[in-house]
Copies of this chain bind each other. A is one copy, B any other.
């Protein structure tokens, strides 16, 4: 968090510019996630950034453009960690599934990108390109990596083949719902009883691996 001892524009292009624009985006992400799109005003954002409202319009032409930048950037870093797990040849198939699931839990619950679902749902009709970017840049990427990890296990004979669509929803569904539930029920005393992250994650992972190990619908094995 820098103050005001860096404002030298230098001769550098807009290549590296961690300054105002980035700070506005960060504050905006926080506010949008907390209050929603319509519930976040440019005045409130300006106050959170410690600048005047008019100054926001120097960096972004409109609230909508600011919002699009806000929810369209940052997918790459979230996907990168998953890809590294996918490519890690030192892991067993089961370990790779466990690592991947743990990473998806981390992204979906702890990072702003993962908590965006209700926000995207709010604006998806008004600003369809936001849903498109979230879908193509984040959802599809995650699904493809998980499918590839499972397929590799099936090819090696480590996993049984289960219905792909059902497995995708069985893997991502509980995680997304857990993230949203924890946002919905912040403050309720039962939240750590009904929605504890580590406990749900471990149990979820065990059940998924049971299904991957099992020969589907044919218990007469061995």
List A residues at the B interface (Cβ < 8 Å): 34-39, 117-118, 120-122, 124-126, 128, 131-132, 134-135, 139, 143, 162-163, 165-167, 169-170, 172-178, 180-181, 183-188, 190, 194, 196, 199-200, 203-204, 206-207, 210-211, 213-214, 216-217, 219, 221-222
Contact = CB atoms under 8 A, between A and B. Distances in A.
A209 B212 CA distance: 14
Given A36-B37, A180-B117, A185-B131, A204 B174 contact: no
Contacts of A170: 170, 174, 204, 207
Contacts of A200: 165-166, 169
A174 B167 CA distance: 10
7 contacts: A162-B207, A163-B203, A166-B203, A173-B175, A207-B211, A210-B211, A214-B214
B122 A36 contact: yes
Contacts of A196: 165
Contacts of A176: 173, 176-177, 180-181
A180 B119 CA distance: 11
B207 A167 contact: yes
A177 B186 contact: no
Contact of A188 (B118, B125, B131): B131
A219 to B, nearest CB: 8
B36 A187 contact: no
Contacts of A183: 121, 124
Contact of A211 (B122, B184, B211): B211
Contacts of A124: 183-187
